[in-house]
Amino acid sequence: MNEERKQHDGLDPELASISDALDELGRVERRAAPGGLESRIFEHTRPTAPASGGVLARIGPGWRLAAAVGIGAIAVAATWYAVQRGSPSAPGPSSDFDMVAFEAEFETWLAELEEPMDDIESVDSGFSTVEAAYENFWTDPLALGEESL
C-alpha cells in the first residue's frame, strides 16, 4: 500500500492533496460504522456457515433415511439379480455338500437352544396365570359392584 501511495509523487500536488483528503474521508466513513457492526453481521451470517463436519453434517435426517432405504433397495436388487443369474449355472455337488453341512450345523444349534426354550415355556405359563387373575378380577361381583358405584 505504501508503495502504491508513492504514485502521489507523480501527481500534481493539488491532486495529491485531494487524494489525501479522500483518504481522510474514507477513514472517517470507516470509523463512522455503528458500534457492534461486526458482531451483528456475525450473528446474522452465522446460521449460513456450515456446522463443523462439513457436507455430511448439513444432510438432514430425512435425507439420511432416504439414502439408507435407497442403499438397502439396491442391495436387495443386486442380491436377487445375482441369485437369478447364478442359480442355473451354479454347480450342483459343491452347493449340495454345503447345504448338508449347513443342515447339520442348524440341528446342533437347535439342540443347544432346548434349554432356553424351556425357560421361555415357564415365562409363558407365568403370563397365563396373570391373564387368568385379570379375567377373574373383572368377573368378581365385588369389583363390578365398586365399578357401578
Partner 1 sequence: MTADIPFESEAGGDLAALLRLASTGCDDAWRRVIGLYARRVHAMARSRCRDDDLAEEITQSVFVTVSAKLTGAGQGAYEEQGRFESWLFRITMNRIRDEMRRRKRQASTADPSTFGHIAAGSEPDRAAPEDLQALRNALNELTESEREVVEMRHHGQMSFKLIAETLKQPIGTVLARHHRALKRMKETLESRRGVTS
**Which residues of the chain form contacts with partner 1 (CB under 8 A)?**
1, 4-5, 11, 14-15, 18-34, 37-38, 40-42, 44-46, 48-55, 58
Looking at the Cβ atoms of 34 and 88, the one nearer to partner 1 is 34
- Residue whose CB is less far from partner 1, 56 or 111: 56
Task: Tell me the closest approach of the beta carbon of residue 59 to partner 1, in angstroms.
Answer: 12
**Could you tell me the smallest distance in angstroms from the CB atom of residue 62 to partner 1?**
17
SS (H, E, C) the chain: CHHHHHHHHHCCHHHHHHHHHHHHHHHHHHHCCCCCHHHHHHHHHHHHCCCCCHHHHHCCHHHHHHHHHHHHHHHHHHHHHHHHHHHHHCCHHHHHHHHHHHHHHHHHHHHHHHHHHHHHHHHHHHHHHHHHHHHHHHHCHHHHHHHHC
Minimum separation from the CB atom of position 61 to partner 1 (A): 18
Closer to partner 1 by Cβ: residue 23 or 121: 23
